[in-house]
A and B are shown apart, each in its own frame.
Chain A
Protein backbone atom coordinates (compact mmCIF):
# COMPACT_ATOMS: atom_id res chain seq x y z
CA UNK A 1 0.00 0.00 0.00
CA UNK A 2 1.28 3.38 -0.89
CA UNK A 3 0.69 6.21 1.49
CA UNK A 4 -0.50 9.16 -0.51
CA UNK A 5 -0.37 12.55 1.09
CA UNK A 6 -3.67 14.30 0.77
CA UNK A 7 -3.63 17.97 1.67
CA UNK A 8 -6.27 19.39 4.02
CA UNK A 9 -9.39 20.54 2.20
CA UNK A 10 -9.36 23.83 4.05
CA UNK A 11 -6.53 25.22 6.08
CA UNK A 12 -7.12 28.46 7.94
CA UNK A 13 -3.99 29.95 9.46
CA UNK A 14 -3.88 32.74 12.05
CA UNK A 15 -6.86 34.45 10.53
CA UNK A 16 -7.49 37.97 11.74
CA UNK A 17 -10.58 39.87 10.74
CA UNK A 18 -12.09 43.09 12.01
CA UNK A 19 -14.95 45.29 10.96
CA UNK A 20 -13.41 48.72 11.29
CA UNK A 21 -10.75 49.62 13.84
CA UNK A 22 -12.80 48.79 16.93
CA UNK A 23 -14.52 45.54 16.09
CA UNK A 24 -11.99 42.73 16.21
CA UNK A 25 -13.94 39.60 15.36
CA UNK A 26 -11.46 36.86 14.47
CA UNK A 27 -8.25 36.99 16.45
CA UNK A 28 -5.84 34.48 15.03
CA UNK A 29 -8.04 31.56 14.10
CA UNK A 30 -6.56 28.22 13.01
CA UNK A 31 -8.65 25.45 11.52
CA UNK A 32 -7.67 22.48 9.44
CA UNK A 33 -10.41 20.54 7.75
CA UNK A 34 -9.71 17.19 6.11
CA UNK A 35 -11.48 16.04 2.94
CA UNK A 36 -14.81 14.40 3.71
CA UNK A 37 -15.14 16.02 7.11
CA UNK A 38 -18.32 17.64 8.31
CA UNK A 39 -17.39 20.35 10.73
CA UNK A 40 -20.02 21.91 12.96
CA UNK A 41 -19.07 25.26 14.40
CA UNK A 42 -20.77 26.27 17.63
CA UNK A 43 -20.23 29.22 19.91
CA UNK A 44 -21.76 32.23 21.61
CA UNK A 45 -23.57 34.89 19.62
CA UNK A 46 -21.16 37.44 18.23
CA UNK A 47 -18.29 35.01 18.49
CA UNK A 48 -17.51 35.25 14.81
CA UNK A 49 -19.06 32.06 13.39
CA UNK A 50 -20.84 33.79 10.54
CA UNK A 51 -17.79 35.91 9.92
CA UNK A 52 -15.63 32.79 9.63
CA UNK A 53 -17.97 31.24 7.07
CA UNK A 54 -18.25 34.50 5.14
CA UNK A 55 -14.48 34.79 5.02
CA UNK A 56 -14.15 31.23 3.74
CA UNK A 57 -16.81 32.00 1.13
CA UNK A 58 -14.68 34.92 -0.02
CA UNK A 59 -17.27 37.53 0.93
CA UNK A 60 -15.09 39.48 3.34
CA UNK A 61 -11.75 41.21 3.40
CA UNK A 62 -9.32 39.92 5.99
CA UNK A 63 -6.71 41.73 8.09
CA UNK A 64 -4.08 39.02 8.02
CA UNK A 65 -3.63 35.28 7.85
CA UNK A 66 -4.25 32.87 5.03
CA UNK A 67 -6.53 30.15 3.79
CA UNK A 68 -5.62 27.33 1.46
CA UNK A 69 -8.11 25.11 -0.30
CA UNK A 70 -7.15 21.63 -1.40
CA UNK A 71 -3.53 22.60 -0.85
CA UNK A 72 -3.76 25.62 -3.14
CA UNK A 73 -3.47 29.21 -1.91
CA UNK A 74 -6.99 30.67 -1.75
CA UNK A 75 -7.14 33.75 0.45
CA UNK A 76 -4.26 35.81 1.74
CA UNK A 77 -3.45 39.36 2.58
CA UNK A 78 -0.43 40.93 1.06
CA UNK A 79 1.47 44.08 0.38
CA UNK A 80 1.92 47.14 2.48
CA UNK A 81 -1.77 48.03 2.40
CA UNK A 82 -2.72 44.47 3.38
CA UNK A 83 -4.92 43.96 0.37
CA UNK A 84 -7.03 40.80 0.54
CA UNK A 85 -6.25 38.49 -2.35
CA UNK A 86 -8.94 35.98 -3.22
CA UNK A 87 -8.51 33.35 -5.91
CA UNK A 88 -11.94 33.53 -7.55
CA UNK A 89 -11.32 30.29 -9.41
CA UNK A 90 -10.97 28.48 -6.09
CA UNK A 91 -13.94 30.36 -4.69
CA UNK A 92 -16.15 28.78 -7.35
CA UNK A 93 -15.68 25.38 -5.75
CA UNK A 94 -17.33 26.54 -2.54
CA UNK A 95 -21.08 26.91 -2.07
CA UNK A 96 -22.94 28.66 0.71
CA UNK A 97 -26.45 28.80 2.10
CA UNK A 98 -27.35 31.69 4.37
CA UNK A 99 -29.66 32.13 7.31
CA UNK A 100 -31.86 34.56 5.46
CA UNK A 101 -33.28 33.60 2.14
CA UNK A 102 -31.13 34.83 -0.66
CA UNK A 103 -33.00 33.44 -3.64
CA UNK A 104 -33.42 35.88 -6.50
CA UNK A 105 -37.05 36.99 -6.07
CA UNK A 106 -37.56 38.02 -9.70
CA UNK A 107 -36.59 34.59 -11.02
CA UNK A 108 -38.51 31.33 -10.83
CA UNK A 109 -37.09 28.40 -8.90
CA UNK A 110 -35.77 26.82 -12.08
CA UNK A 111 -34.23 30.11 -13.27
CA UNK A 112 -32.60 30.54 -9.86
CA UNK A 113 -30.98 27.15 -10.29
CA UNK A 114 -29.72 27.51 -13.84
CA UNK A 115 -28.52 31.13 -13.72
CA UNK A 116 -25.03 30.42 -12.43
CA UNK A 117 -24.35 27.23 -14.43
CA UNK A 118 -25.37 28.96 -17.66
CA UNK A 119 -23.68 32.30 -16.96
CA UNK A 120 -20.58 31.12 -15.13
CA UNK A 121 -19.76 27.82 -16.76
CA UNK A 122 -21.44 28.43 -20.08
CA UNK A 123 -23.48 25.28 -19.67
CA UNK A 124 -26.17 24.65 -22.30
CA UNK A 125 -29.55 25.73 -21.04
CA UNK A 126 -31.27 22.40 -21.80
CA UNK A 127 -28.61 20.49 -19.92
CA UNK A 128 -28.75 22.81 -16.93
CA UNK A 129 -32.55 22.50 -16.85
CA UNK A 130 -32.30 18.69 -16.89
CA UNK A 131 -29.87 18.74 -13.97
CA UNK A 132 -31.98 21.29 -12.10
CA UNK A 133 -35.12 19.20 -12.52
CA UNK A 134 -33.33 16.12 -11.26
CA UNK A 135 -32.12 18.00 -8.18
CA UNK A 136 -35.55 19.46 -7.49
CA UNK A 137 -37.04 16.00 -7.84
CA UNK A 138 -34.55 14.67 -5.31
CA UNK A 139 -35.41 17.42 -2.84
CA UNK A 140 -39.17 16.97 -3.25
CA UNK A 141 -39.54 20.24 -5.10
CA UNK A 142 -40.35 19.05 -8.62
CA UNK A 143 -43.78 20.70 -8.50
CA UNK A 144 -42.26 24.06 -7.60
CA UNK A 145 -39.93 24.48 -10.56
CA UNK A 146 -41.94 27.32 -12.03
CA UNK A 147 -42.96 28.98 -8.78
CA UNK A 148 -41.41 32.20 -7.59
CA UNK A 149 -39.63 32.39 -4.23
CA UNK A 150 -42.45 34.47 -2.73
CA UNK A 151 -44.79 31.54 -3.33
CA UNK A 152 -42.69 29.11 -1.31
CA UNK A 153 -42.59 28.30 2.40
CA UNK A 154 -39.42 29.08 4.31
CA UNK A 155 -38.38 25.44 4.29
CA UNK A 156 -38.90 25.16 0.55
CA UNK A 157 -36.88 28.33 -0.01
CA UNK A 158 -33.94 26.95 1.92
CA UNK A 159 -34.09 23.67 0.03
CA UNK A 160 -34.09 25.59 -3.23
CA UNK A 161 -31.12 27.60 -1.99
CA UNK A 162 -29.26 24.36 -1.27
CA UNK A 163 -30.14 22.96 -4.68
CA UNK A 164 -28.99 26.20 -6.32
CA UNK A 165 -25.59 25.91 -4.65
CA UNK A 166 -25.30 22.23 -5.59
CA UNK A 167 -25.84 23.05 -9.27
CA UNK A 168 -22.23 24.22 -9.33
CA UNK A 169 -20.87 20.90 -7.97
CA UNK A 170 -19.16 22.49 -4.95
CA UNK A 171 -16.33 20.70 -3.22
CA UNK A 172 -17.31 22.31 0.07
CA UNK A 173 -20.67 23.52 1.33
CA UNK A 174 -21.08 26.19 4.00
CA UNK A 175 -24.32 26.40 5.98
CA UNK A 176 -24.83 29.37 8.27
CA UNK A 177 -27.78 28.76 10.60
CA UNK A 178 -29.93 27.81 7.65
CA UNK A 179 -32.84 26.73 9.82
CA UNK A 180 -32.89 29.43 12.47
CA UNK A 181 -35.24 31.71 10.56
CA UNK A 182 -37.68 28.86 9.98
CA UNK A 183 -40.88 27.94 11.77
CA UNK A 184 -40.11 24.91 13.97
CA UNK A 185 -42.20 22.52 11.89
CA UNK A 186 -40.15 23.34 8.77
CA UNK A 187 -36.73 22.74 10.29
CA UNK A 188 -36.72 18.98 9.78
CA UNK A 189 -37.28 19.03 6.01
CA UNK A 190 -34.24 21.25 5.53
CA UNK A 191 -32.06 19.26 7.92
CA UNK A 192 -33.05 16.07 6.12
CA UNK A 193 -31.74 17.46 2.86
CA UNK A 194 -28.42 18.34 4.47
CA UNK A 195 -28.20 14.90 6.10
CA UNK A 196 -28.84 13.43 2.66
CA UNK A 197 -25.84 15.37 1.36
CA UNK A 198 -23.78 14.19 4.30
CA UNK A 199 -24.62 10.62 3.42
CA UNK A 200 -22.99 11.27 0.05
CA UNK A 201 -19.85 12.51 1.77
CA UNK A 202 -20.20 16.14 0.82
CA UNK A 203 -17.66 18.08 2.88
CA UNK A 204 -19.40 20.80 4.83
CA UNK A 205 -18.98 23.39 7.49
CA UNK A 206 -22.11 24.12 9.45
CA UNK A 207 -23.05 26.74 11.99
CA UNK A 208 -26.08 25.65 13.99
CA UNK A 209 -27.70 26.02 17.39
CA UNK A 210 -29.64 22.79 16.91
CA UNK A 211 -28.13 20.17 19.21
CA UNK A 212 -29.88 17.21 17.60
CA UNK A 213 -28.76 18.29 14.17
CA UNK A 214 -25.21 19.00 15.32
CA UNK A 215 -24.87 15.55 16.82
CA UNK A 216 -26.29 13.84 13.76
CA UNK A 217 -24.36 15.66 11.11
CA UNK A 218 -20.98 16.41 12.63
CA UNK A 219 -17.88 14.35 12.17
CA UNK A 220 -16.14 17.04 14.17
CA UNK A 221 -17.19 19.97 16.31
CA UNK A 222 -15.40 23.23 16.83
CA UNK A 223 -16.28 25.54 19.69
CA UNK A 224 -15.41 29.04 18.71
CA UNK A 225 -15.55 31.98 21.11
CA UNK A 226 -13.95 35.38 21.32
CA UNK A 227 -12.63 35.04 17.79
CA UNK A 228 -10.54 31.92 18.37
CA UNK A 229 -10.98 28.15 18.53
CA UNK A 230 -11.51 27.11 22.13
CA UNK A 231 -12.13 23.42 21.65
CA UNK A 232 -11.97 21.14 18.67
CA UNK A 233 -12.75 17.44 18.56
CA UNK A 234 -15.20 14.66 17.77
CA UNK A 235 -18.87 15.45 18.53
CA UNK A 236 -19.04 13.02 21.46
CA UNK A 237 -16.26 14.91 23.15
CA UNK A 238 -17.11 18.54 22.44
CA UNK A 239 -20.87 18.16 22.79
CA UNK A 240 -20.85 15.32 25.33
CA UNK A 241 -17.95 15.81 27.69
CA UNK A 242 -16.13 18.99 26.81
CA UNK A 243 -12.65 19.46 28.20
CA UNK A 244 -12.73 23.22 28.33
CA UNK A 245 -14.62 25.08 31.01
CA UNK A 246 -15.94 27.64 28.51
CA UNK A 247 -17.29 24.96 26.21
CA UNK A 248 -19.02 23.28 29.12
CA UNK A 249 -20.63 26.56 30.24
CA UNK A 250 -21.81 27.30 26.74
CA UNK A 251 -23.30 23.88 26.16
CA UNK A 252 -25.02 23.89 29.53
CA UNK A 253 -26.46 27.31 28.85
CA UNK A 254 -27.50 26.91 25.24
CA UNK A 255 -28.44 23.28 24.98
CA UNK A 256 -29.62 22.95 28.58
CA UNK A 257 -28.82 19.28 28.62
CA UNK A 258 -25.45 17.67 28.18
CA UNK A 259 -24.91 14.11 27.26
Chain B
Protein backbone atom coordinates (compact mmCIF):
# COMPACT_ATOMS: atom_id res chain seq x y z
CA UNK B 1 0.00 0.00 0.00
CA UNK B 2 1.37 3.34 -1.02
CA UNK B 3 0.72 6.41 1.03
CA UNK B 4 0.35 9.75 -0.63
CA UNK B 5 -0.15 12.54 1.85
CA UNK B 6 -0.05 15.19 -0.87
CA UNK B 7 -3.69 14.25 -1.47
CA UNK B 8 -4.55 15.91 1.78
CA UNK B 9 -2.81 19.11 0.74
CA UNK B 10 -5.22 19.45 -2.17
CA UNK B 11 -8.05 19.77 0.29
CA UNK B 12 -6.36 22.07 2.76
CA UNK B 13 -8.84 24.89 2.27
CA UNK B 14 -11.81 22.63 2.93
CA UNK B 15 -10.09 21.21 6.01
CA UNK B 16 -9.26 24.70 7.27
CA UNK B 17 -12.90 25.67 6.88
CA UNK B 18 -13.95 22.57 8.79
CA UNK B 19 -11.46 23.34 11.55
CA UNK B 20 -12.78 26.87 11.74
CA UNK B 21 -16.33 25.52 12.18
CA UNK B 22 -15.12 23.15 14.91
CA UNK B 23 -13.33 25.97 16.71
CA UNK B 24 -16.30 28.34 16.46
CA UNK B 25 -18.68 25.68 17.70
CA UNK B 26 -16.36 24.77 20.57
CA UNK B 27 -15.74 28.36 21.64
CA UNK B 28 -19.42 29.31 21.55
CA UNK B 29 -20.37 26.23 23.55
CA UNK B 30 -17.55 26.84 26.04
CA UNK B 31 -18.79 30.35 26.77
CA UNK B 32 -22.50 29.45 26.90
CA UNK B 33 -21.86 26.12 28.63
CA UNK B 34 -19.66 27.62 31.36
CA UNK B 35 -22.20 30.35 32.05
CA UNK B 36 -24.99 27.78 32.23
CA UNK B 37 -22.82 25.45 34.32
CA UNK B 38 -22.06 28.23 36.77
CA UNK B 39 -25.76 28.97 37.27
CA UNK B 40 -26.62 25.29 37.57
CA UNK B 41 -23.74 24.82 40.02
CA UNK B 42 -25.23 27.58 42.17
CA UNK B 43 -28.72 26.12 41.77
CA UNK B 44 -27.51 22.80 43.09
CA UNK B 45 -26.52 24.45 46.35
CA UNK B 46 -29.80 26.38 46.51
CA UNK B 47 -31.91 26.46 49.65
CA UNK B 48 -35.00 25.53 47.67
CA UNK B 49 -35.46 21.77 47.39
CA UNK B 50 -37.32 22.17 44.10
CA UNK B 51 -34.48 24.13 42.48
CA UNK B 52 -32.00 21.55 43.76
CA UNK B 53 -34.07 18.65 42.44
CA UNK B 54 -34.64 20.14 38.98
CA UNK B 55 -30.98 21.04 38.52
CA UNK B 56 -29.86 17.60 39.74
CA UNK B 57 -32.12 15.80 37.27
CA UNK B 58 -30.78 17.95 34.46
CA UNK B 59 -27.15 17.32 35.37
CA UNK B 60 -27.54 13.59 35.95
CA UNK B 61 -29.47 13.19 32.72
CA UNK B 62 -26.84 14.87 30.58
CA UNK B 63 -23.99 13.16 32.37
CA UNK B 64 -25.67 9.79 32.18
CA UNK B 65 -26.56 9.61 28.49
CA UNK B 66 -24.36 9.48 25.37
CA UNK B 67 -23.68 12.86 23.81
CA UNK B 68 -24.64 11.41 20.46
CA UNK B 69 -28.17 10.67 21.68
CA UNK B 70 -28.47 14.17 23.13
CA UNK B 71 -27.40 15.56 19.81
CA UNK B 72 -29.87 13.44 17.84
CA UNK B 73 -32.60 14.22 20.30
CA UNK B 74 -32.13 17.97 19.95
CA UNK B 75 -31.75 17.62 16.20
CA UNK B 76 -34.76 15.38 15.51
CA UNK B 77 -37.11 15.64 18.48
CA UNK B 78 -36.85 19.26 19.57
CA UNK B 79 -38.15 20.63 16.23
CA UNK B 80 -41.12 18.27 16.49
CA UNK B 81 -41.91 19.42 20.00
CA UNK B 82 -41.33 23.12 19.38
CA UNK B 83 -42.79 23.01 15.89
CA UNK B 84 -39.88 25.01 14.45
CA UNK B 85 -37.08 23.97 12.14
CA UNK B 86 -33.67 24.55 13.70
CA UNK B 87 -30.61 25.06 11.51
CA UNK B 88 -28.04 22.27 11.97
CA UNK B 89 -25.50 24.56 13.53
CA UNK B 90 -28.02 25.86 16.06
CA UNK B 91 -29.02 22.41 17.24
CA UNK B 92 -25.35 21.48 17.52
CA UNK B 93 -24.79 24.52 19.72
CA UNK B 94 -27.83 23.80 21.87
CA UNK B 95 -26.87 20.17 22.39
CA UNK B 96 -23.22 20.78 23.19
CA UNK B 97 -24.06 23.77 25.41
CA UNK B 98 -26.49 21.69 27.45
CA UNK B 99 -23.89 18.95 27.71
CA UNK B 100 -21.12 21.39 28.65
CA UNK B 101 -23.42 23.06 31.17
CA UNK B 102 -24.03 19.77 32.94
CA UNK B 103 -20.35 18.86 33.03
CA UNK B 104 -19.07 22.26 34.18
CA UNK B 105 -21.81 22.63 36.79
CA UNK B 106 -20.19 19.72 38.61
CA UNK B 107 -16.85 21.49 38.36
CA UNK B 108 -18.29 24.69 39.80
CA UNK B 109 -20.17 22.83 42.51
CA UNK B 110 -17.04 21.06 43.68
CA UNK B 111 -15.04 24.29 43.71
CA UNK B 112 -17.76 26.16 45.62
CA UNK B 113 -17.69 23.39 48.20
CA UNK B 114 -13.93 23.59 48.46
CA UNK B 115 -14.12 27.13 49.87
CA UNK B 116 -13.98 26.13 53.51
CA UNK B 117 -16.12 27.00 56.48
CA UNK B 118 -13.13 28.95 57.90
CA UNK B 119 -13.34 31.46 55.08
CA UNK B 120 -16.96 32.12 55.94
CA UNK B 121 -16.11 32.49 59.63
CA UNK B 122 -13.48 35.05 58.70
CA UNK B 123 -16.03 36.93 56.59
CA UNK B 124 -18.48 37.09 59.48
CA UNK B 125 -15.80 38.08 61.96
CA UNK B 126 -14.94 40.97 59.63
CA UNK B 127 -18.59 41.94 59.41
CA UNK B 128 -18.75 41.49 55.64
CA UNK B 129 -22.34 41.60 54.38
CA UNK B 130 -23.58 38.50 52.57
CA UNK B 131 -23.25 40.13 49.15
CA UNK B 132 -19.59 40.98 49.74
CA UNK B 133 -18.90 37.51 51.15
CA UNK B 134 -20.14 36.02 47.91
CA UNK B 135 -18.67 38.47 45.39
CA UNK B 136 -15.32 39.22 47.03
CA UNK B 137 -14.44 36.00 48.82
CA UNK B 138 -16.38 32.91 47.80
CA UNK B 139 -16.85 33.35 44.06
CA UNK B 140 -13.31 34.47 43.22
CA UNK B 141 -11.85 31.51 45.09
CA UNK B 142 -14.35 29.08 43.62
CA UNK B 143 -13.69 30.29 40.08
CA UNK B 144 -9.92 30.16 40.57
CA UNK B 145 -10.16 26.63 41.87
CA UNK B 146 -12.44 25.65 39.02
CA UNK B 147 -10.11 26.84 36.26
CA UNK B 148 -7.93 23.71 35.85
CA UNK B 149 -10.92 21.36 35.67
CA UNK B 150 -12.76 23.80 33.41
CA UNK B 151 -9.82 23.73 31.02
CA UNK B 152 -9.97 19.92 30.91
CA UNK B 153 -13.71 20.20 30.32
CA UNK B 154 -12.97 22.50 27.37
CA UNK B 155 -10.44 20.09 25.88
CA UNK B 156 -13.00 17.28 26.17
CA UNK B 157 -15.63 19.41 24.52
CA UNK B 158 -13.29 20.21 21.65
CA UNK B 159 -12.87 16.48 21.03
CA UNK B 160 -16.54 15.57 21.65
CA UNK B 161 -17.56 18.25 19.16
CA UNK B 162 -16.57 15.85 16.35
CA UNK B 163 -19.89 14.12 17.04
CA UNK B 164 -21.80 16.98 15.39
CA UNK B 165 -20.64 15.64 12.04
CA UNK B 166 -23.29 12.97 12.58
CA UNK B 167 -26.05 15.55 12.14
CA UNK B 168 -24.45 17.05 9.07
CA UNK B 169 -22.60 20.04 10.50
CA UNK B 170 -19.57 20.66 8.29
CA UNK B 171 -16.94 20.57 11.02
CA UNK B 172 -13.41 19.22 10.74
CA UNK B 173 -14.57 15.64 11.27
CA UNK B 174 -17.38 15.92 8.71
CA UNK B 175 -15.11 17.38 6.04
CA UNK B 176 -12.39 14.85 6.77
CA UNK B 177 -14.83 12.00 6.45
CA UNK B 178 -16.18 13.34 3.15
CA UNK B 179 -12.73 13.78 1.65
CA UNK B 180 -11.78 10.33 2.87
CA UNK B 181 -14.86 8.78 1.24
CA UNK B 182 -14.53 10.66 -2.02
CA UNK B 183 -10.81 10.04 -2.48
CA UNK B 184 -10.83 6.53 -1.05
CA UNK B 185 -7.74 7.54 0.91
CA UNK B 186 -8.90 7.03 4.49
CA UNK B 187 -5.45 6.35 5.92
CA UNK B 188 -3.89 9.62 4.81
CA UNK B 189 -6.93 11.81 5.36
CA UNK B 190 -8.12 10.46 8.69
CA UNK B 191 -4.59 10.36 10.06
CA UNK B 192 -4.09 14.01 9.22
CA UNK B 193 -7.47 14.93 10.70
CA UNK B 194 -6.60 13.07 13.89
CA UNK B 195 -3.27 14.87 13.99
CA UNK B 196 -4.98 18.26 13.68
CA UNK B 197 -7.22 17.45 16.65
CA UNK B 198 -4.20 16.23 18.57
CA UNK B 199 -2.01 19.23 17.81
CA UNK B 200 -4.64 21.50 19.32
CA UNK B 201 -5.80 19.33 22.21
CA UNK B 202 -2.44 18.09 23.44
CA UNK B 203 -0.79 21.43 24.33
CA UNK B 204 -4.06 22.53 25.96
CA UNK B 205 -4.11 19.40 28.10
CA UNK B 206 -0.51 20.06 29.09
CA UNK B 207 -1.31 23.65 29.91
CA UNK B 208 -3.98 22.42 32.30
CA UNK B 209 -1.49 20.76 34.64
CA UNK B 210 0.72 23.83 34.52
CA UNK B 211 -2.13 26.17 35.39
CA UNK B 212 -3.30 23.75 38.06
CA UNK B 213 0.05 23.74 39.82
CA UNK B 214 0.20 27.52 39.75
CA UNK B 215 -3.29 28.02 41.11
CA UNK B 216 -2.89 25.42 43.81
CA UNK B 217 0.39 27.00 44.87
CA UNK B 218 -1.34 30.35 45.11
CA UNK B 219 -4.39 29.14 46.99
CA UNK B 220 -2.54 26.95 49.45
CA UNK B 221 -3.20 29.16 52.43
Contacts and interface: CB of A to CB of B under 8 A. Distances in A.
Interface of A: 54, 57-59, 88, 91-92, 94-96, 98, 100-106, 115-116, 119-120, 148-150, 157, 164-165, 168
Interface stretch (B36-44, B100-108, B122-130, B163-171): B122-130
Nearest to A115: B136
A104 B122 contact: yes
A121 to B, nearest CB: 9
Given A100-B118, A106-B140, A115-B136, A59 B124 contact: yes
Interface stretch (B84-92, B172-180, B187-195, B212-220): B212-220
Contact of B127 (A103, A105, A120, A150): A120
Contacts of A101: 221
B128 A119 contact: yes
A96 B121 CA distance: 10
Interface residues of B, number: 21
Nearest to A103: B221
Contact of A115 (B118, B119, B128, B219): B128
15 contacts: A58-B124, A59-B121, A91-B127, A95-B126, A98-B122, A102-B118, A103-B221, A104-B141, A106-B140, A115-B128, A116-B127, A119-B128, A119-B136, A120-B126, A165-B126
Contacts of B118: 98, 100, 102
Interface string B190-206: 00000000000000000
Contacts of A116: 126-128
A150 B217 contact: yes
B144 interface: yes
Nearest to A88: B127
A100 B221 CA distance: 10
Contact of B125 (A95, A100, A115, A150): A95
Given A106-B144, A115-B136, 7 more contacts: A54-B121, A59-B125, A102-B125, A106-B219, A119-B136, A120-B128, A165-B125
